Chain A
Amino acid sequence: MNETDKSTTTACLKGVRRALPIVLGYVPIGFAYGVLAGKSGISAANTLIMSLIVFAGSAQFIAVGLFASGTGAAAVILTTFVVNLRHLLMAASLTPYLSGWKKKHLAFFAYELTDETFALHSSAAKTLNSCPLEALSLNVTAQASWVLGTLLGIVASNLIGDVKPLGLDYALSAMFIGLLVSQCGSPVRIITAIFSGGLATALYLAGWHQFHIIVATVVGATFGLGVEQWTKR
């Protein structure tokens, strides 16, 4: 192996290793999705295809529920759009660290940008620019584990009655707790998180079940910026 090959392999392995906490969350959640989709009458092929071409955890669960209740195609697509619009903000927040990337790498990177891969990337954002390969390998590992979980869920959907006794439905929240804590390194960021979380909860209770996340994010980040600017003066 020559030097370039070696550093390529190292970068890929590092990405795989960094993705392991996501794998731990994605396999069980993907599994739960696979079980649920199977029970809702979605064919095995379609269940798997959704994990391959949509790759968005919460939106996939919501879509399964909508398909099961006979919601029309346009409504399902519109709901997916609204639910996933938050990724617009996530993608924007990573762009200052992606200036040296090739276009094709950016296009591939964006395809696998989920809440979780985003959170991992943003917690080590300064390393993004120097190593696209490591970031892409992290993403691919994450999606592979999501697809694997889906596959296992499809296989098990006839055998399993409920995923709740295993605590699988908490994997996503537990992962968000870990990721959020890693993002709260300064008082301003903690204040931003508390404000945004509180606002999202209030909006949700007021009946906003789709837009609460994106509105709370925009208002919360703006509030945090205000606090930051005010304390600097």
Chain B
Amino acid sequence: MDQTLILFTMVGMGVVTYLPRLLPILFLSGRTLRPLLVAWLRLVPPAVLAAMLVPALLVPEKRLDLGFDNIFFWTALVAFPVAWKSKSLFATVVVGMGLVALARYFGLGYGS
């Protein structure tokens, strides 16, 4: 694709990314929401984070894989307790990336 067209496409991407981020904040903030809606919204963070994370761990190459080659899954089994015990995002990221790099260094996982 031509670079100018890519630029215009990116402007469009920027608009459709910004609007869903902006509109709820602009229209809902300052209003009193019904308690049931607030209770539902409180459950959105764990729901959305799990929905983004779990498929990435269990379905690395388009199909369910709990085998030895799926280092993302095995690393997660270590990273979860690390996150739980340390309560440190920093430590979790370092341990996670470190283990994946280490596993690949020893020739484990896909494409390594």
- A73-B53 in contact (CB<8A): no
Q: Chain B's interface: helix, strand, loop or mixed, by majority?
A: helix
A21's nearest neighbour on chain B, judged by CB, is B89
**Could you say which interface size class chain B belongs to?**
35 or more
A213 CA / B44 CA spacing, docked (Å): 11
CB distance from A110 to the nearest CB of B (A): 4
Chain A: minimal CB distance from B66 (Å):
11
Number of A-B contacts (CB under 8 A): 294
Chain A residues lying within 8 Å of B6, measured Cβ to Cβ, are 42-43, 46, 67
Q: How large is the interface on A (under 10, 10 to 19, 20 to 34, 35 or more residues)?
A: 35 or more
In angstroms, Cα B6 to Cα A43, docked, is 9
Would you call A92 and B41 a contact (CB within 8 A)?
A: yes
CB-CB under 8 A for A170 and B47, given A67-B6, A91-B22, A177-B53: no
A70-B1, A93-B42, A165-B112 as given contacts; A199 in contact with B9, CB under 8 Å:
no
For A183, give its contact among B20, B40, B49 (CB under 8 Å): B49
Assuming the contacts A54-B10, A106-B25, A106-B26, asked whether A24 and B90 have C-beta atoms less than 8 A apart, the reply is yes
Q: List 15 additional A-B contacts (Cβ < 8 Å) besides A81-B16, A180-B83.
A: A20-B90, A53-B10, A81-B20, A87-B20, A88-B20, A111-B18, A167-B104, A168-B97, A170-B96, A174-B95, A193-B46, A193-B49, A200-B52, A221-B44, A221-B47
4 closest A-B pairs by beta carbon, nearest first, are A174-B96, A197-B54, A21-B89, A167-B101
